Amino acid sequence: MNLSRRRLAGLVVVLLVSGAGTMGWCKHAQAGNARMVKQSVLRLDATNKEAVQGIPDLPKNGTVALKARAFYQRETLRFDIEDITVTSTDETSDLFTDHQTGKDTKTNDSAKN
């Protein structure tokens, strides 16, 4: 009986110490600027995707280079696109030849929001 009590007490002590250690480690892991940097990266990505998704006639495959002025209007982020280059790399079919990789580039006004 005495031994089991001792064991129980020992187990409690071990659990308490390991728990405190884990909490201390977690606390340390949360501190610092890495979490803030990750949040900023996600925010930048979301902002960019919001701007690009607003562009009409996006190609299935291609690239978009844009410069826009972003501003808030009634709590909503709006984009005033100043410069844009959309390059399509979609495969286009030609009736007389085999499938080819076509390139179609749109710039400025044609693709503005």
Partner 1 sequence: MIPRKTKALLVLWAGLLLAASPAWAGNKRIMSVRAAKVLAERALIESVYGLKVRCTESVEDMVAASFVGKTESKTAGQIKGITYDDVCYDPQKDIAQVTASVCLPSITNIDGEVIDLKSKTFRRVAFATSTPSMAGPIRALRAAELDAYAQLVKRIVGFTLESHTTVENYLLKSDSVKTKVLATLYLAELTSYGWNESGDAYVTMTLNLKDISDMLDEEVMEGAEIIEVTGEGAQEDDFQVAKNS
Would you tell me which residues interact with partner 1 (CB under 8 A)?
A: 27-28, 30-34, 36-38, 40-41, 44-45, 47-49, 51-53, 58-75, 79
Closer residue to partner 1 in complex, CB, 2/73? 73
Greatest pairwise CA separation for the chain in angstroms: 93
Alpha-carbon distance of 67 to 112, in angstroms, equals 11
Cβ 22 to partner 1 shortest distance, Å: 15
Closer residue to partner 1 in complex, CB, 10/45? 45
> What is the SS3 assignment for 40?
helix
Closer residue to partner 1 in complex, CB, 8/90? 90
Cβ 102 to partner 1 shortest distance, Å: 15
> 61 Cβ partners below 8 Å, 6+ apart?
88, 89, 90
Residue 86's nearest CA partner among 70, 73, 109 is 109
Closer residue to partner 1 in complex, CB, 5/56? 56
Alpha-carbon distance of 28 to 101, in angstroms, equals 52
Cβ 11 to partner 1 shortest distance, Å: 28
